[in-house]
Structure 1
């Protein structure tokens, strides 16, 4: 397993920020992921936009890497696991996750998690319709506005990104973790997602994500 490069310690709880766009919390033996948007390619193809399905295979490979290397007891998906209407990729995702028999999968419902209740009832996930608390973590899809001082909100929804500009005015856009006081907004895990550029305040921290590592941008 790689040595963690970027991490946050919130009231003695260690949150390890991973280049796979996930958070590992060793004390809870849990991995946290936001905005997978699995099945989005098929959703676009139904609308006549030719998006290749293998784009989601990389997401499955990343999930396999995380579970195999960290051996979590729980994996929490912080909303927008699946992109809107049902398609066959829902079965692909459930069949893939069901092979990890020692892991409990949780889904905190997001605004794109709109499948009929029967699909969730028959799925591998424990479904949470509202934000939940795990230790001193509050898990939600959308960022919460009111958070107790002794709690940290892990959330997604925003798809945070940062734009870096070089001396020659060349620029690059990176997914990032956006850490505010009492809140950590996770990057979108899925490859087929966009970015919303963040405007961090002086009290915030931003951690950019490359293929090799997580880089503190502002601290």
Structure 2
């Protein structure tokens, strides 16, 4: 799979938006992503819904590709690394992560990250309960009240954009949403819905496909 990037400037820093649902911050050798929801497919299978385990494998293959592409020192996850209770998908991820012991993994906890700290410790994950302030950015899972002067990088809402073509043709694409105070990341997991309800006049949408990242 190809990694395509789109360079944007935020608060004097360069950020690279990728078509693989993650952002790279070159100044800090940091890969930033959100909403992996590991364990979601196993959770549905346990409830009797026949969801393929290939969903998780495809997400992990994509993550491995962008790790190899950028070679980050740090991976920062802005919430919802996990989805539900401890299950087989979590064990798959735990085994998969053994190949990246050299990378510093940080999790700003999201509303779905309810596992015990023993699991996070076994994965060598640094846990932050609410937010991380680094450089000009505040990293958090979801922000409801914006503080003047701060710029937030968050996830949670699974942003998407509806693109209309000729006639009744239309397509929904995941996107990054950028305002003067916030960058909202797309959900990294492919097994998520898309929220297209935010009016486009309130933000700049950077949608992406397998071949490009473009401003809508």
- After TM superposition, the score normalised by the length of structure 1 is 0.93
Q: List alignment gaps of at least 5 residues for structure 2.
A: none
Work out the CA distance in 2 between the residues paired with 1:146 and 1:164.
Answer: 28
Counterpart of 2:39 in structure 1 is 39
Q: Is the 8 A contact 2:74 2:103 kept in 1?
A: yes
Q: Is the 8 A contact 1:200 1:206 kept in 2?
A: no
Q: Work out the number of aligned pairs and report it.
A: 215
Work out the CA distance in 2 between the residues paired with 1:3 and 1:201.
Answer: 23
Work out the CA distance in 2 between the residues paired with 1:201 and 1:47.
Answer: 37
Q: Is the 8 A contact 1:162 1:176 kept in 2?
A: yes
Q: Is the 8 A contact 1:94 1:124 kept in 2?
A: no
Work out the CA distance in 1 between the residues paired with 2:69 and 2:134.
Answer: 22
Counterpart of 1:14 in structure 2 is 14
* Counterparts in 2 of 1:54 and 1:201: CA distance versus 1, 3 Å: closer
Report deviation, 1:58: 0.8
The answer on 1:92 being equivalent to 2:77 is no
Counterpart of 2:76 in structure 1 is 76
The answer on 1:189 being equivalent to 2:188 is yes
Report deviation, 1:79: 0.6
Counterpart of 2:179 in structure 1 is 180
Q: Is the 8 A contact 1:147 1:153 kept in 2?
A: no
Work out the CA distance in 1 between the residues paired with 2:85 and 2:196.
Answer: 27
**Superposition RMSD in Å:** 1.6
Report deviation, 1:136: 1.0
* Counterparts in 2 of 1:143 and 1:11: CA distance versus 1, 3 Å: same
Single out whichever of 122-131 and 19-28 deviates more from structure 2: 122-131
* Counterparts in 2 of 1:3 and 1:157: CA distance versus 1, 3 Å: closer
Work out the CA distance in 2 between the residues paired with 1:61 and 1:178.
Answer: 25
Work out the CA distance in 2 between the residues paired with 1:81 and 1:20.
Answer: 16
* Counterparts in 2 of 1:158 and 1:115: CA distance versus 1, 3 Å: same
Report deviation, 1:9: 0.6
Q: Is the 8 A contact 1:97 1:124 kept in 2?
A: no
Post-superposition CA distance 1:49-104 (Å, at most 9, x none): 11111111111111111111101000011111111111022122122122113210
